[in-house]
Amino acid sequence: MEITTEMIKQLRAATNAPMLDCRKALQEADGNFDKAVDWLREKGMATAAKRADRDASNGVVELYSHGGGRVGVIVEINCETDFVARNEQFRKLAHEIALQIAASAPKYIVAEEIPAAELEHEAEIARARAKEEGKPDNVMPKIVEGRMEKYKDEVCLMRQAYIRDESISIEKLILQNVAAIGENIIVRRFQRWELGESINN
């Protein structure tokens, strides 16, 4: 398929990627716009991975209050330089992550933070449920594993589907911003409060 200048311009407008990269993406995707966007995202992801080991000690503490003060979130997002910490795109990302935490109530940032006892408890629940549903023993481990992955997707911020675009995870959203901004970005910690919830929650 012939790649026209108009196609390249449209892709550039949608992704902010350089013209040559847009041309290459369209060639790789055989002129398919969506596939070309994915190709560029993957290319951005590769760039982001190279930045993951850089020190990120600047950043912002974002505060967000939702529903007339019914839910409150405080989240610390780090980047490498003070310059980026003041950057509008970085500030917007911090706000989006605070919104995500308010809406989706994650308990952890990454799956590695989930205590072993909690994982075992969830696995027991998944096994009991599968038994109750009459699932055969030979497929039980697969069912339990599937339900455990779903549980991690729900409770881990990085694995949650982004509330504004469920086709990407929060981790992918951050990686896209790393690629665009050019610095490592880390969600350091967060706290979410809901009016009237038990202190033990």
Q: Which structural domain range is residue 71 located in?
A: 58-110+156-194
**For residue 48, what pLDDT is reported?**
60
**For residue 49, what pLDDT is reported?**
56
* CATH number of the domain where residue 73 is located: 3.30.479.20
CA–CA separation, 184 and 93 (whole Å) = 13
Tell me: the pLDDT tens digits for 115-153? 999 999 999 999 999 888 888 888 888 999 999 999 999
Domain end (from 15, 35, 51): 51
CA–CA separation, 25 and 43 (whole Å) = 9
Instruction: Give which of 76, 77, 73 is closest to 98, Cα–Cα.
Output: 73
**For residue 140, what pLDDT is reported?**
87
Q: Are residues 173 and 136 in the same domain?
A: no
* CATH number of the domain where residue 147 is located: 1.10.286
CA–CA separation, 5 and 12 (whole Å) = 10
* CATH number of the domain where residue 41 is located: 1.10.8.10
Q: Are residues 32 and 105 in the same domain?
A: no
Q: What is the pTM of this model?
A: 0.70
Tell me: the pLDDT tens digits for 83-95? 999 999 999 999 9
Residue 199 lies in a domain: no
Instruction: Give which of 61, 96, 63 is closest to 79, Cα–Cα.
Output: 61
- What's the domain count of the chain? 3
**For residue 52, what pLDDT is reported?**
64
Q: pLDDT-based confidence at 159, cuts 50/70/90?
A: very high
**For residue 150, what pLDDT is reported?**
95
User: Residue 86: CB partners within 8 Å, gap ≥ 6?
Assistant: none
